[in-house]
Amino acid sequence: MKRLAFLLILQVFSFQTFAQNREKDKAEILAVLTDFFETFTHPNMKYFDRNCSPDFQLLEVGEVWERKEIQAYVDRMTAKPLTFERTNQFDFIKVKFYKNMAWVSYYNTATIRSLQDNSIKKREWLESIILEKVKGRWVLQQMHSSFKK
């Protein structure tokens, strides 16, 4: 009886630890996603480089963007003064883990404020990401983005 109680307690603690680890992973994934989007908010490839695999793909509303396309965007944006301020809000729909991989679907709401007239626009997307845990850190492998209706 004592052995059964011990095994039950051990199982409860290991489940609790597993759940805590998954919550930690979700928080880490949100941090990676938020930092990656700084590539577009404060155009600089350092945000891409520290959050994406070298062969990362962004499937953006019918276009395939890899590092060179994102670099071209950053170059265009940094060639002139920024005319906007952007903040993003991410609301996870589903997060699924398998070994060192994670699949995440979420809503992305961007609030974009014009620095000229202070007008505000909101843009919404339905997006998904695939991440791999490499050397203890989550790294973006692929992102798919479509406008939310």
Mean pLDDT confidence for 106-125: 97
pLDDT category at 33 given cuts 50, 70, 90 is very high
What is the structure's pLDDT at 61?
Answer: 85
For domain 2-147, give its CATH number from 3.40.50.2300, 3.40.50.300, 3.10.450.50, 3.30.70.2500.
Answer: 3.10.450.50
Please tell me the predicted confidence (pLDDT) of residue 4.
Answer: 64
CA distances from 136 to 6, 25, 30, 139, 142 (A): 32, 10, 15, 10, 18
pLDDT at 11 > cutoff 80? no
Q: What are residue 88's DSSP bridge partners?
A: 110
Q: pLDDT tens digit string along 40-96? A: 999 999 999 999 999 999 999 899 999 999 999 999 999 999 899 999 999 999 999
Global confidence as pTM: 0.84
pLDDT value at 20 more than 90: no
Provide the pLDDT for residue 65. Answer: 97
Q: Considering only CA atoms, which of 145, 135, 130, 136 is closest in space to residue 55?
A: 130
